[in-house]
Each structure stands twice: as C-alpha cells, then as structure tokens.
Structure 1
Amino acid sequence: MNDLSSDSCSMAAPVLLLLLIAGSATSSDESLFPRFVEPVTNVTVTVGRDALLACVVEDLRGYKVAWVRVDTQTILSIHHNIITQNPRISLSYNDHRSWYLHIKSVQEVDRGWYMCQVNTDPMRSRKGYLQVVVPPSIIDNMTSTDMVVREGSDVSLVCRASGYPEPYVMWRREDGQDFNYNGESVSVVDGETLTITKVSRLHMGAYLCIASNGVPPSISKRIMLMVQFPPMLSIPNQLEGAYIGQDVTLECHTEAYPSSINYWTTDRGDMIISEMEIVGGKYEAFPMDSGYNKFMMLKIRNITKEDFGFYKCIAKNSLGETDGIIKLDEIPAPPSAFTTQKTVIDNQTIKKKGHHEVFWPMTP
C-alpha cells in the first residue's frame, strides 16, 4: 500500500483503486450491495474554520469506504486509515455506517468536490462540494490614500478589495450627506473607482470605500479628499453705524484651503493688533472656524471720533489673497445713550464741586 500513502495518488483508474482496497463483488442481487442513505451534503465554510463532510452507508458488510479529492484525484482515506499526508485532514466513523471527513482550518485550496466511494463492482459513490468563502479585505497597496487636489481638476479615488465571492465595492461620504457626482446628487456610488470631474470645495471631506460579499464582516477604508483653492471673502454689512461711546463688531467671512492667514488693517494700512488680553483694550480680533470657512470678527470698544472711517479685512494663503472694506460711520446716539452719557458727565461735575446730591438731567 506504499503507493497510496501520498497526495500524489491518482484516480486515473478508480475501479482499479477500489479493487486494491478490497475484493470486488459482482453479484447482481441489489440486496447484497451497500446503499447510500443520503447524499453527501454540500458544505460552505469560512476560511480558517473547520469543515465536516458526512457519508452515510447502510449494509456496508465487508466493503470499504474511501474519501477522494475529485479535482486533484487524491486519495484522502481508505476505510479506517488516513492516506493523505495533509495534517489538517482526519477521519471519524460510527458503527461502520457514518463516515466523516474532517478538514481543520480550511484554506482556499480546499475548495472543490469530495467523493465518498464504496468498492463495489461497479463502484458506487456520492459527491459533495466544499465551498470556502473569504470575507472581504482592502488591498492597501492598490487603494488610494488621502488626497489633496486643486479645485476644478478631475480626481479619481480607487479602492481594490479581495475575498470570495468577489466583493462588491461602493463609495459614500462619511457624514452620510449627498454629494454632486458629475451633475447628479447621489449618496452612494458603486464600483471600485470614484471619479469626480471638476472637483469643488463642496466635495471636500472624508469618503468611505466599503467592500462586502455576504461573508461577514464587511470592511471599509476612510480616505480624506482635500480641495485647495485661494481665499474668497464676503462681507455681510459693508456699512456699519455706531455712536460715540458704543462698542461695535465688524464681520468678514472667508473661505480658503490651505487655511488662510486673516488680519485687519485701518484705512491708513496699519495692521490692527488685538488687545483682548489687555483690560480696557481698544481692539479685540477673534476668529470663528467651521471647516474651510472662517468668520473674522473685530470688536472696537468705546468708539471715538477717530475710530470712524474704513477698515479692511485681509485673507492670504499659498494660492492667493483677497480683501474687503467695511466703512464705519457715525450715527446719532439714541435717547437712552445720550441720557446715560449726560448723567455720567454731570455726576463727575458734582463730585468735583463737592456736592453730594445726585442730578438727573432731563431727556431732551
């Protein structure tokens, strides 16, 4: 039997093989032959798991059962003996009726047809298919990484995945929002390649490449798409009014990527330095960020005559710069403000003269 002790054993002559296993029977009486109680059931197993193929034979008598790998014509077992040298394969049986082929830690090479044979003449057999499925995985060296592109250019994000069955790949934004895909508003794009023509800043964000094939778990990869563009600036109010003694806030909105450097100047071109850390400071400049949007805010405290005029907000990045102008005009103080100012002045006058009574001026 040394010729049957390796995976190279051939099934080129299966009848001869079975004659080697045991003497054949040629009786025409069906009652003298073993019979299969049920088919060898097809089995689907995830790679790495264990597989079990079952063959149930009644009235085996003196005949013998063998397991054979059909596509490679490899003898795996004969009766109680393991023939293959594959250490992952083992055999178990119950009362010479149920014969079980065990395959441990199934690999993709195990996928295929397996035959349970009985050495009758003619030979009797049943076949079952072992399907080995593989959950999807992303092929990193064939998949796009984070990308930075100029606005208006075309961009393609590629995602390659492996698995069995072949994975289905789709793209969506991580935030779940719809996006403009070549003129259409979509939430999902099918396929390994996501190509966006004339990309805009609205496309900026994180995209998920998701691969699935019905074998859990599905898998995804996150790819950041950054879109570069020079600064743009808008001003909600180009003309602001304030009265003497009032605090006022000027506002500019900017968009830029890379992030812009933003600052304010006076109409004389002098850069305004924020004095927010100084108690009673004249100016307080503070930004508010929201992605590639920035809100430039300039607070001017205790307006005086000298504060009226033009203020310029400026935004710069490596791709360009832009600016906008806001005019600050004087407006009449409201009655309540006039009363308050007059009260303060009169109270100071009273204190200088040594009077203790409080004087409340009439509202003009």
Structure 2
Amino acid sequence: MDYWMKIVYRSSWLIITAGWLCLDATASSVDDFRYFRNEVPTFAKEIENATVPVGREATLSCVIYNLGNFKVAWVRVDTQTILTIDDVVITRSQRISVRHMTDASVDYPYYLHHPHQQHPHNHHQKNKSFLLQSPPAVEVSTVQPETPHRRPSSGSIHKTWQLIIRDVQSSDAGLYMCQLNTEPMTSHTAYLSVTVPPDIVDSESSGDVMVTEGQNTTLRCSATGHPLPVITWRREDGRPIQNHALTVEGSVLHLTRIPRQHIGAYLCIASNGVPPSVSKRFMLRVQFPPSVTATNQLVGARQGDINITLECHCESFPKPVVYWLRHSTGDVVVNGVKHREEKRETNHYKVSMQLVFLHLEREDFMAYQCVCRNTLGIADSVVRLYQIHPVADDGNEVYSEADQQDGLGGGKEQLSSTWDAEKSKDESSTKRLAVNKHASAKTQLAVGGRSSSAVDISSWFLSTLCILVSMTKTR
C-alpha cells in the first residue's frame, strides 16, 4: 500500500509541475525558464551606512529578493565574528538581536542582478565562507521568475533582515557584512559609525596655576570623543585673552609676561558636533605686592555732617588685609558709634575700602592713613579730612571761640583748607597758622587780602616811629 501511495504522490507532483510549466510557457521564453530553474537570491539594494550616537540603538537593514531556502548571516568583518545566522544569534552579546520582515508590495529600483553578473554598485565577498548549509539542487518557486534585465514586479517578495545593536558602544564601530550562503558566496557591507560626545581628560590637563606678575605659563586641555573635539579657550568674564583675541583654538594656551589684569578663570571648551559640549575651568592667579590709591586726598566737611566717607582702592594678590590708621598717632580706627569701616571686592585683586563718619565732631578733622598689606608687602595712602567753616557776608570765614583757641584747625596740628574749586577759581588757597602763644592777642591771617587786627596796626606804627627817631639821631 505504501508503495502505491508513493507512486500516486509522485505522479500527482509531476502532473502539477507539468501543468505549471505549460502555463509559464505563455509568459516566458525558454531562456527565462532556464534562468528561473537556476535562480538564486539577490540583494534588492545596497545596505545603508549608519551613524549613531553612543548609547543609542543602531539598525542595519539587508533587503533580499527571492531568498527561498537560503540563509542570511550577519558578520563583523574586522573581527571575523559571525553575529547571527537566520533567526539565531550566535554571538554572546546580549545587546545584539536580529529580525526579518517580508514585503510583497515594495517595488525597489533595479539593483537586482544574477550572482554571475556583478552590478557596478555591488560588492561580492567570494573568499569568506561562514555558512555551511547548501541550497537544494532544484527549487520550484511560485514566484514569477525575472531575468537580470527586468525590473521585478510589484508582487515580488522581498525579505528585510535587520541587525539590531542596542546601547551602542564606541567599540561597535566598524564594517558589518550581510552574507548569503550561495555558491559562490555573496555579500554586501555597511559601515557603522559611532559618534561620542566630547569628554575632557583631567589626568592629561592642567590644573589651577599661580604665577608671579611678569612670568610666563602654559595651560593644557586634553579631550576625547568622535569626531575628535575642537578645543577653544576663552575667559570666563568675556575679556580678551591676549592680543585682543576673545578666543584661542588649540589644546595648549601659552601666556607670556602675565600682567595682573589676566588674573581670573579661563574656560577650555571641547565640542565635536555631538551634544553636549563640555568645559573645564582653570583658575589663573597672579601674585604681586599691594598698591593703594586714595579717591580724594583732601576731603572737606562741616562739623555735624553725617555719613562723610573717605575712600581708598587697593590692588593686591594674595588677598590683602586692609585697615585705617590715625596718621598723627598711628592708632587703628575701629568700628564704633562714631564711624564704621567698609570694604568691597570689585574683582579678583581689587578691594575698595571706606571709612564712614556717622556724625562729624571737631576732633575728627585730621589725616587718616589707609593701609593694604599682603604676604608680599605693604602699601598705604593718606587722606586729609579738613573742616569747612561758615562764611560771613563779607566773605570771611567765621570761626568759633574753640577754633580760635586751638589755632583755627581741628586740633593743634596744621591743616590745609581750600575753597570749593568751582566757586573760587580766582582765589588762592588759604593756609592756617597757629599764633604765637606768648602774644597778647591771637591774630588771624587774611585769605586773599583780609584786614589785620588792631594790635598789628599799633605794632607797625610803633616800629615806624622808632625807625624815624633813629634816622634823626644819625643826622
């Protein structure tokens, strides 16, 4: 019974095949039929190269026409590693997978070719044999055969095999091959490029730098990434670096004869078109001894004025210690109910220091010394606070009894007083002098032609009279 069943089965198969061949003869020539009987898979199009950022997912697609019972394999070319065969993943990497899809409607452009007729855009690899399974001797397909010179119909079946690499690493970059186990072996290749955002290598870069004013120094910044990052230098405060340039390119920044104005933060910025760009901050410190300048060396005020300020500016690095002294005694001025000290850093090496008098009293009028000190030296400047007296209708200053007893100045020292420059351009500056303590009455010196006292007139008259008497006796 089994013997007869086999005969019936084979007879039926021959009848079906003969009928199909008769139908096919009306649509194809004898040459087409011969080619169809020997038809092998072909690549429907080139595999596109892929560029993927590190950490993302990469997909390489291989589209094959008339695969039949042939097998598709993905191979890493540089390591000669078989990644997948058909639906089976060979590599141990858990990040690699394969999937395939069948599309019977896509009509691709004419890239199809017979394996013995090389297409100008196709690349065959005949000497790499990774697959072991051979195709059947004769395969009968229900798909209408196409010659190498015909465009496949829209009903042709294409299979797309995709190699998927998850969490792409920079080591995944390279050449990948989609291979068919035809005879001879055929394949297409594609390149996977992995872009890596820039990263600054701290071990190969400089750190913060401290130099003495006038010296030279070099800052280095090393970065990795793909493509290779471009390194740009700029100052954090936006000021020019050197030669009036706001930015400088290159991994090395040379600074020569560094002035104090170059103190501050410098930024090394690495970018390669793959976000995000990264930067490293370098602090350049320039050491120099302190220097002090007073905003106004003479400050005039009236007794009873409030919030009168003396100000000095100190430049120093390292950061200085600043304080005020009474110039005549050397005593340190401390904060209290009468005055307070204030200081404000305007940049990395400048300090503004103020001495504020909350309510001026007569004994506050004197010279004060602003002092700036650091480890490299000390500097100071003197500010003189003088008293402005009320002015009478006749243009003379009005002095109180206490002023006259003290010699017209705040205290027994000699103090300079000036008129307002805008209001008295034609008047000379006045100078106050202490009167001789043995005189019977104190005198006042006129400023710009003021009248002397009666005592001075009497003294002049007596002196003149004595001279005349002497001249008469001589005759």
TM > 0.5 fold call: yes
Question: Equivalent residue for 2:235?
Answer: 173
Deviation at 1:318, TM superposition (A): 0.6
Distance 1:114 1:28, change over 3 A: farther
The TM-score with structure 2 as length reference comes to 0.59
Secondary structure at 1:97 match in 2:
strand
1:264-275 maps to which residues of 2 (within 5 A)? 264-275=324-335
Runs of 4+ in 1 over 6 A off after TM superposition: 338-342
**Which residue of the partner structure matches residue 189 of structure 2?**
127
Of structures 1 and 2, the larger Rg is shown by: 2
Which gives a bigger RCO, structure 1 or 2 (Cα 8 Å, sep 6+)? 1
The residue aligned with 1:195 is 254
Aligned match of 1:249: 309
2:369 to 312, 315, 326: 312
| Structure 1 unpaired stretches of 5+ | 1-26, 343-364
**Equivalent residues, number:** 307
| SS, match of residue 244 in structure 2 | strand
Match among 59, 71, 74 for residue 78 of structure 2: 71
Measured on the aligned residues, the alpha-carbon RMSD in Å equals 2.7
1:61, distance to aligned residue in structure 2 (A)? 1.9
With normalisation by structure 1, the TM-score equals 0.76
Task: Map Cα deviations across residues 297-351 of structure 1 (whole Å, 9 max, x no partner).
Answer: 22344242x4444322111011111111223334332469x99999xxxxxxxxx
- Following superposition of structure 1 onto structure 2, how do residues 1-364 of structure 1 map, counting pairs within 5 Å? 29=35, 32-95=39-102, 97-175=159-237, 177-181=238-242, 184-247=243-306, 248-276=308-336, 278=337, 281=338, 283-291=339-347, 292-300=349-357, 301-304=359-362, 306-334=363-391
Is contact 1:242–1:303 with CA below 8 Å preserved after alignment? no
Deviation at 1:130, TM superposition (A): 0.7
**CA drift at 1:240:** 2.6
Give 1:321's aligned amino acid.
I
Q: Deviations over 1:3-23 (max 9, x none)?
A: xxxxxxxxxxxxxxxxxxxxx
Contact 1:36-1:56 at 8 Å conserved across structures = yes
- Residue type of the partner of 2:61? A
Structure 1 CA distance for aligned equivalents of residues 317 and 233 of structure 2: 24
Moved more, 49-58 or 116-125: 116-125
Q: Distance in 1 between matches of 2:212 and 2:368?
A: 31
Per-residue Cα deviation, 1:219-275 (whole angstroms, up to 9, x for no partner): 112222222221111122222333444454322111111221112222324223234
Whole-Å Cα distance in 1 between the matches of residues 91 and 196 of structure 2? 25
Read off the aligned partner of 2:314 and give its amino acid letter.
Answer: T
Unaligned runs of 5+ in 2: 1-32, 103-157, 401-475
SS of 1:141's partner is: helix
For residues 72 and 284 of structure 1, do their structure 2 counterparts lie closer, same or farther at Cα, with a shift above 3 Å needed? Answer: closer
- Matches of 1:178 and 1:28, distance apart in 2: 80
What CA deviation, in whole Å up to 9, does each residue of 1:170-220 have, x standing for no partner? 111223x23241xx1121111112221122221122222111111111111
Higher-strand-fraction structure: 1
- Are the equivalent residues in 1 in contact too, given 2:290–2:377 (CA < 8 A)? yes
Aligned to 1:186, what secondary structure does the other structure show?
coil
AA partner of residue 311 (structure 1): Y
Secondary structure of 2:207's counterpart equals: coil
Aligned-residue sequence identity (percent) comes to 43
Aligned 8 A contact 2:389 2:397 in 1: no
